[in-house]
Amino acid sequence: GPWSAESFKLLGPDSEKYEGLARVIDDTRFRSVLDLVEALNVGVVKVETGYCIGWSDTWSQYFLLFQPEKQQVALVALANTEVELEAARKRQRLQRLRGAVTGMINSLQKGKMEEAIGARQQELENRITANVRKDLEESYSAQAEQKVKEKEKEAEQKVKQKEAEVEHQIKEVEQKLKQTESEAEKKVKQKEAEAEEKVKQKEAEAEQKVKRKEMEAQHQIREAEQKMKQTEIEAEKKVKQKEAEAHHQIREAEQQMKQTENEALNQIREAEQK
């Protein structure tokens, strides 16, 4: 899993006593928790166990860095190491005490005394080791459990927050959908009203055009009738004029005939007189 800058524990300025606990990243490039976390996450440094030791210039001491899922394992390993360190310190003190006691009782029964001291020393070491281990394990277990509870609480709060955000977003989307539907319905009604208005307008225009055409047709019919009447009148006038001309020509012809008859009669009379 990924490494986190929140998952670490300070160890102190001395790393030698923790060399058996985990790998010590002794690299001048990584002088802080963040630097080492970034290097581990990008693969510049690889640690298979899930926890390691680094140096922090900010704290001026070493720290135990662990992956969140390896927290319990790392803290238990640290507790075991500290138990061993405490037991080693106790053994050193007991050895010094044993040396002092041994020097004082050289004149006594050396064999039995050493055996008794050895047994007592072993008993004390076992008791001290057990007590220290128990105290440290309980302490680190309680700390780990507390951190786990805190992480669970934070995760639960984040989940609730995300749920609230999602619910809020859903409500916003629903409101937007309703608003969009309302706007779409208004637009549809507006379009229908506009279309209906256009249809009415087109019908009115068509009706006006029909009426105009009817009026034009009636006007053309009246004009045609007037032209026909005028043509009939003109034709009648022409007929009357032709008739008058014919009558005039007939009268002239009759007059000429009478004149010719008169001339002929005159000639006959003149001839008879001769």
> How do residues 146-156 score in pLDDT, each as one tens digit?
764 776 676 56
- Whether 120 is covered by a domain: the verdict is yes
Non-local CB neighbours of 80 within 8 Å, separated by 6+ positions = 133
- In one-letter notation, the amino acid at residue 82 is E
Query: Residue 133 sits in which domain range?
Result: 8-156
Q: Residue 27: pLDDT above 80?
A: no
Tokens in use for 253? Answer: 């012809």
Q: Is residue 204 part of a domain?
A: no
142 vs 161: CA distance, rounded Å: 28
What would the pLDDT profile of 161-220 be if each residue is shown by its tens digit? 766 674 777 588 578 758 867 786 888 588 888 868 885 888 888 688 868 888 886 888
How far apart CA 164 and CA 156 sit, in angstroms, is 12
Closest to 133 in 3D by CA, of 122, 141, 144, 143: 141
pLDDT at 54: 95
Number of structural domains found in the chain? 1
Residue with tokens 């923790």: 18
249, part of any domain: no
| 112 within some domain | yes
Contact 67, 50 (CB under 8 A): yes
pLDDT confidence of residue 25? 92
Q: For residue 144, is it within any domain?
A: yes
pLDDT band for 159, please (50, 70, 90 cuts).
Answer: very low
Domain contains 29:
yes
Q: What is the mean pLDDT of residues 89-110?
A: 74
Q: What is the pLDDT of residue 109?
A: 60
Q: State which H helix or E strand residue 214 sits in.
A: helix 110-273
Is the pTM for the entire model greater than 0.95?
no
How far apart (Å, rounded) are the C-alpha atoms in residues 83 and 214? 117
Residue 163 lies in a domain: no
Residue 267: inside a domain? no
In this structure, which amino acid lies at residue 263? E
CA distance 139 to 75: 10
